[in-house]
Amino acid sequence: MIRKYKSYFIKFLYFENKQGIEYVFGIMGHPVIDLALTIQVTDIQYLGFRNEQAACYAAQAYGYLTRKPAAVLCVSGPGLLHVIGGMANAQVNCWPLIVLGGSCPEDHEGIGGFQEWPQVESSKLYCKYAARPPSATLIPLHVEKAVRLSTYGRPGATYLDLPATLLNQSVKEESIYDVAPCPPPPLTFPDQRLIQQAVNLLVRARKPLLIIGKGAAYGRAENEVRNLVYSTRIPFLPMPMGKGVVPDTNERCVSSARTFALQQSDVILLLGARLNWMLHFGKSPRFQADVKVIQVDLCPEELHNSVSSAVAIQSDISTATDSLVTILKERKWFVEESNPWWKDLQARSNKNKAIIQKMSMDISIPLNYYAVFKHIQDMIPSDCIICSEGANTMDIGKTILLNNQPRHRLDAATFGTMGVGLGFAIAAALYCKNNAPTKKVLCVEGDSAFGFSGMEIETMFRYKLPIIIIILNNNGIYGGLDNETFRQIQASGEPTQVTPPHCLTSETHYEKMLEMFGRKGYFCTTVQDIQHALRACLQVNDSPSLINIMINPQADRKEQKFTWLTESKL
């Protein structure tokens, strides 16, 4: 007897057995209802979310943590369009992701079908590969290609369009396209002549600096990069998601002297970081006008992208760094304790640390950012994964909340996307569940950022994920108003005309959201409140917790020499 298979079964049969997809995140609905149900018949795990964007953020974060793409399942039309923000985020951040979009039946196209939209065309701007399999028999081919293109070279998003007519199509078993599992991405090795040029630059440098980006974290290059730092004692500056590739607690970390280090260095070794807005495009006055950059990146298009690098090396970070270490050891090069450059960096670091320490010791009410983060840092486990978003919440937090292991910080990253925090935290909790069940996940949010995806708390409860959500509540975007001022302004006229655009409702009790699930949240105004709440939350192992910390609405970061964002010169 010839067996026939519905194509949605074929698709996930091949996902499970051939391509190793572990998780699908999404929101079910027409025309992917049967597909969502079928996923759970296989060994693939399905998590339903409250918003497609949050599902997409979770999927891509899981891809970053594992180097294997997870999938997002969405309905047609608006469902796919809600996902596109997440697709763009994955594409800009270079994280692997597969999006599966149900779509209008092909015979309804052009005549006003339900949720009809040109989905393949709409997705092409936001991913590396977008296609509609022409037949159910070819689904495995496109699945393998989507997996391969999402992980090979610079990782990114891929999209497969699944019209209702394709999902309902039956095909004979022998006609199904048989495809081999997608092998892991091949390693790229550097040109050894360029490695020699890079070594020559470093050896001659008076003020060398290593910058570690999230590409080094994604590339699993921590052993090689640590070997580089430990053997040469080169000062290093981690980018936010490069934190932990070398422990933040290492004495050669110069995060506390970031501006000084960037402005004074004469040779920069750039490992897996891009000279974009986050590094002020590599240009003066943030950098020396004649700084020499050694750029190591997997993607050839990234080389010389903002400034002309002195040495531009296309390679995996691990292989290039290993080659550098070998030759630098042969040359017996290292940055001595007595080196004037190192002494200057130490002095500037100590000065800035003293300023932050003074600010963190001010525990007057309402609290400031530094006092809150200092007392959180004092209590949390050293190996927890920290997800963070918000303006000052994220930026100040990265300077105080330390990471000593790679891929243990997830934040708004290159695209600066707000709303990612809870989705990222869900992905991190799943990763811990599978790899380190006792590891804690902290989701540190500004109150504005939390509002983008706050209902994903219900998702966390449904799947029993013990995530600790900490909200730094300053009543607004960047900053709001104190309670009395907010009431006076609201009473003074039409709210749409008198309420400043940056303000949110003052002293909102977000912690009460946990009461919907029969649990208790925590409202904190003092350091003692924070300590009590954290002790309690660290003991919870079967559900999320929420700590709502009121801080001074006018609290800000310490005074800076430059504004955080380099302005256009036009």
For 512-560, the pLDDT digits (tens) are 999 999 999 999 999 999 999 999 999 999 999 999 999 999 887 666 6
The mean predicted confidence, pLDDT, of the chain is 93
pLDDT, residue 5, reads: 57
* Predicted local distance difference test score (pLDDT) of residue 172: 85
Task: Express each pLDDT in 366-379 by its tens digit.
Answer: 999 999 999 999 99
Contact between 472 and 446 under an 8 Å Cβ cutoff? The reply is yes
| Residue 552 near residue 367 (C-beta atoms within 8 A) | yes
User: 525: how many CB neighbours lie within 10 A of its CB?
Assistant: 15
pLDDT at residue 2, as a whole number:
45
Per-residue pLDDT tens for 338-362?
999 999 999 999 999 999 999 999 9
In three state form, how does the secondary structure of 525-547 look? CCHHHHHHHHHHHCCCCCCCEEE
Tell me: the pLDDT tens digits for 221-267?
999 999 999 999 999 999 999 999 999 999 999 999 999 999 999 99
pLDDT tens for 262-317 read: 999 999 999 999 999 899 999 999 999 999 999 999 999 999 988 889 999 999 99
Q: How confident is the model at residue 43, as a pLDDT?
A: 79
pLDDT at 32: 93
At 307 the pLDDT is 86
> Rounded CA gap, 378 and 375, in Å?
5
**Alpha carbon distance 568, 570 (integer Å):** 6
Q: Could you tell me if 444 and 472 are in contact, meaning their C-beta atoms sit under 8 angstroms apart? A: yes
Residue type, 351: K
Domain 7-175, CATH class in plain words: alpha beta
Residue 128 contacts residue 160 (beta carbons within 8 Å)? no
Element (H, E) at 348: helix 340-360
Q: Report, as an integer, the average pLDDT of 111-131.
A: 95
Q: Fill in the DSSP letter of residue 476.
A: B
The highest-level CATH class for domain 192-347 is alpha beta
In CATH, what is the architecture of 362-569? 3-Layer(aba) Sandwich (3.40)
Give me the pLDDT at residue 130, please.
97
CA 447 to chain centre: 19
**Two tokens, residue 314:** 């296309």
The tens digit of pLDDT for each residue in 495-512 reads 989 999 999 999 999 999
Q: How do the domains of the chain map onto residue ranges?
A: 7-175, 192-347, 362-569
pLDDT in tens, 381-400: 999 999 999 989 999 999 99
In this prediction, residue 415 carries a pLDDT of 87
pLDDT of residue 13: 53
Whether residue 420 contacts residue 95, with contact meaning beta carbons closer than 8 Å, is answered with no
- What percent of the chain clears pLDDT 70, i.e. is strictly above it? 95
Q: Could you give the residue ranges of the DSSP H alpha helices within 302-339?
A: 317-330
Q: What is the pLDDT of residue 1?
A: 36
Same fold, 7-175 and 192-347: yes
Q: Say what the pLDDT of residue 173 is.
A: 82
Residue 265 φ/ψ, nearest 5 degrees: -65, 145
Q: What is the pLDDT of residue 17?
A: 54
Alpha-carbon gap, residue 565 to 34, rounded angstroms: 47
Question: Which tens digit of pLDDT belongs to each residue from 160-188?
Answer: 999 999 998 888 888 888 899 999 999 99
